Amino acid sequence: MSDPQPLSRPGGTPHAHHLLLYGGDEQFLAAALPFTRDGLAAGEPVFIATSRYNTALLKQHLGPRAEQVSFAPAHWHRTPAQALLAFHDQARTFQGPSRVLGEPPWAGLSDDQAREWIRYECLLTLALASTGAWHLCPYDTRTLPAGVLHAAQLTHPTLTTGTAHRPNPAHIAPEEFSAACDSVPLPGPPAHSEQFRFDGPQHLAQLREFTARLARTAALAPDRIDSLLICVDQAATTAVGHGAGGGHCRIWTTTDEVLCEVTDPHGTLNTALAGYLPPATAHLDGRSLWIIRQLSDATDIRSSTNGTTIRIRMNRRRPTTPP
């Protein structure tokens, strides 16, 4: 066990993604306060995106120094894909060392949603590598489900108590972890789903028309229909260009969502990192899945002997979005 020492920045390593398991205010503050204060003292931007309770707690203990800290606006963690983009862009904007205390909103998530937030944690390590950002991820051991706490110990390369850091022996390579998330098969489309087959580029316009009609019937907001059409068109374009030259699209609605599934029967996509990481270079192929994940509320991609399926999900009931 190392001696307590000031929290020094973890060098230029790509492992600046620390897990803090805390069981109360004291344990939280013991890590969060020095993390914040030392960052400010070093002149580094500090950004806090945590629960309302922990935000208030930190503000109270930071006193006037809280004014130097940026606190996340509401809805910062709207979807995992958008949170990853926001953190990545922010780190790049700072162009140097920065610190982030980030706690996703775990409360009230469905199993699917929790799985994607868990996956986001493992991908964050890759997305932030070389940006200079140091993320501290607090997990409340009193309230979080055992599965979330267990996964947190697999997705963070470093463990911290606030006074000491140590490498996490249980950490799994992000690509492997993300692939494991995809080993859970998606539930099949319901029998009442509507289907459209496309056999080439000449059918894309009809596919969009088919999609728009069903989305309007489901009362999806017009701006969300625009986004959905980009996603469906892109998924089908990929199938037309790379796969069998065609495929099929199934659409159905639930109380909460409109789901559009585009299947390329000959697709063999490796899904582990498909469209999850910010496009750093100009490869259009990598960006095409990224844009689908960014514009949808959630997208599940699976490959099997039946090809590659891209399931795009749009919320019918959306929380008010920030301007």
Give the interface with another protein as residue ranges (CB under 8 A).
85, 89, 201-202, 204-205, 208, 222-223, 226-227, 229-230, 233-234, 237, 240-241, 278-279, 284, 287-288, 290-291, 294-295
Residue 111 CB neighbours (<10 A): 10
Closest to another protein by CB, 175 vs 233, is 233
Q: Where are the beta strands (DSSP E) in 128-230?
A: 133-140, 158-160, 165-167, 194-198
Between 2 and 281, name the residue whose CB sits nearer to another protein. Answer: 281
Provide the token pair at 139. 């997990």
228 near 312, Cβ under 8 Å?
yes
For another protein, the closer CB: 39 or 275: 275
Select 66 or 291, whichever has its Cβ closest to another protein.
291
Least distance to another protein from the beta carbon of 292, Å?
9
How far apart are the C-alpha atoms of 19 and 155, rounded to whole Å? 9
Burial class (CB in 10 A: 0-12, 13-18, 19+), 287: middle
Pair 273, 122: CB distance under 8 Å = no
Place of tokens 């028309």: 209
Write out the two tokens for 167: 């490498």
Least distance between another protein and beta carbon 287 (Å): 6
Separation between Cα atoms, residue 164 and residue 2, nearest integer Å: 7
Q: How far is the CB of 228 from another protein (least distance, A)?
A: 10
Residue with Cβ nearer another protein (181 or 291): 291
Please, which residue, 178 or 227, has the CB nearer to another protein? 227
CB of 222 to another protein, least distance (A): 5
Q: Least Å distance between CB 236 and another protein?
A: 9
Least distance (Å) from another protein to the CB of residue 186? 24
In contact, 100 and 49? CB cutoff 8 Å: yes
Instruction: Specify the residue, 18 or 224, whose C-beta has the smaller distance to another protein.
Output: 224
Half-sphere exposure of 216 toward its Cβ, with a 13 Å CA cutoff? 7
**Contact in structure between 99 and 39 (CB atoms under 8 Å):** yes
Q: Which is nearer to another protein, 137 or 207 (CB)?
A: 207
Partners of 159 in beta bridges: 19, 166
Residues 6+ apart with CB under 8 A from 211: 196, 228, 229, 232, 249, 251, 260
CA atoms within 13 A on the CB side of 136: 32
Residue 1 or 282 having the CB closest to another protein: 282
- Give, for 229, the enclosing helix (H) or strand (E): helix 222-242
Q: What six digits make up the tokens of 241? A: 């260009």
Least Å distance between CB 282 and another protein?
8
Q: Report in angstroms how near the CB of residue 298 gets to another protein at its nearest.
A: 15
Q: Whole-number minimum distance, CB 65 to another protein, in Å?
A: 31
